[in-house]
Amino acid sequence: MTDMIVNERIVDYINSLDCGNSPICDIIEEEARRDDVPIIGKEMMNFLKVMLALKHPVHILEVGTAVGYSSILMSENIPEGSRITTIENYEVRIPIARENFRRAGKEDVITLIEGDAAEVLKRLEGTYDFIFMDAAKGQYIHFLPDIIRLMSRGGLLISDNVLQDGDIVESRYGVTRRNRTIHTRMRDYMYELTHCDSFITSIVPIGDGITLSVKK
């Protein structure tokens, strides 16, 4: 997503230092922005790359594929032999994501599972040492029990867009009526992440806000 909760001049300066990505990532990024597809911003791209370099994950789970941009970005920054499983429910974007995986030559690295993440997560088995959540924000709290079950000890969970363009600090009556359910659920999610016994969590004001959680 491109919403920002920090000074835009600072973000512009940070982005001016970006070294870019692979040619296929740059092409897919340009296509996504042209078509108004929500993808991670440049600050989040670089943050992900650093976290992957630190963690060296083998089993990665992504909740929310969109057109496959972040999956491909991650696939280019993980050890050989690592695998990514990504979940997407929006039928329009699924074939685009699959084609992008083919274009990037990553079909053997990335597995796309079609369906509602709330149902898919319940069926998944095994553990993941890196989970990136960038899906329907109002559903994060419902995904959490299965996310905890699927994470290995010491595993890393990154949840994107948690500060809702700054609206998260408002009371529920300070946001528009149509956004109140998402607002309440996101606040519940943030509270659970920061207070449950399963995680050590930091809230980081990158892009539209992320949480960085390590499973104990």
At residue 178, the pLDDT reads 64
pLDDT at 4 over 60: no
Kindly tell me the burial class for residue 102, based on how many C-beta atoms sit within 10 Å of its own C-beta (0-12, 13-18, 19 or more).
exposed
The runs of H, that is alpha helices, within the chain are 8-16, 23-34, 42-55, 69-75, 94-104, 117-123, 140-150, 180-195
Distance of CA 45 to the CA centre of its chain: 10
Please state, in angstroms and rounded to a whole number, the distance separating the CA atoms of residues 109 and 194: 32
Domain boundaries, the chain: 8-215
pLDDT at position 51 over 60? yes
Alpha-carbon separation of residue 67 from 21, 35, 92, 95, 145 (angstroms) = 17, 11, 9, 8, 26
**Buried (b) or exposed (e) across 55-89, using 16+ Cβ within 10 A?**
bebebbbbbbbbbbbbbbbbbbbbeeebbbbbbbb
Confidence of residue 174 (pLDDT cuts 50, 70, 90): low
Q: How confident is the model over 117-145, as pLDDT tens digits?
A: 999 999 999 999 999 999 988 899 999 99
Q: Are strands 210-215 and 199-204 parallel, antiparallel or unpaired?
A: antiparallel
Neighbours of 215 (CB within 10 A): 19
pLDDT, residue 5, reads 59
Stretch 149-174: mean pLDDT, rounded?
A: 81
Give 137 or 170, the one with higher predicted confidence. Answer: 137
Segment 87-114 shows an average pLDDT of 97
Is the pLDDT at 1 greater than 50? The verdict is no
> Would you place residue 216 in the very low, low, confident or very high pLDDT band (cuts 50, 70, 90)?
very high
* pLDDT attached to residue 101: 98
CATH of 8-215, one of 3.40.50.150, 3.40.50.1980, 1.10.10.10, 3.30.70.100: 3.40.50.150
Give the pLDDT confidence of 7-30 residue by residue, as tens digits: 778 888 888 888 889 999 999 999
Tell me if the pTM is above 0.85. yes
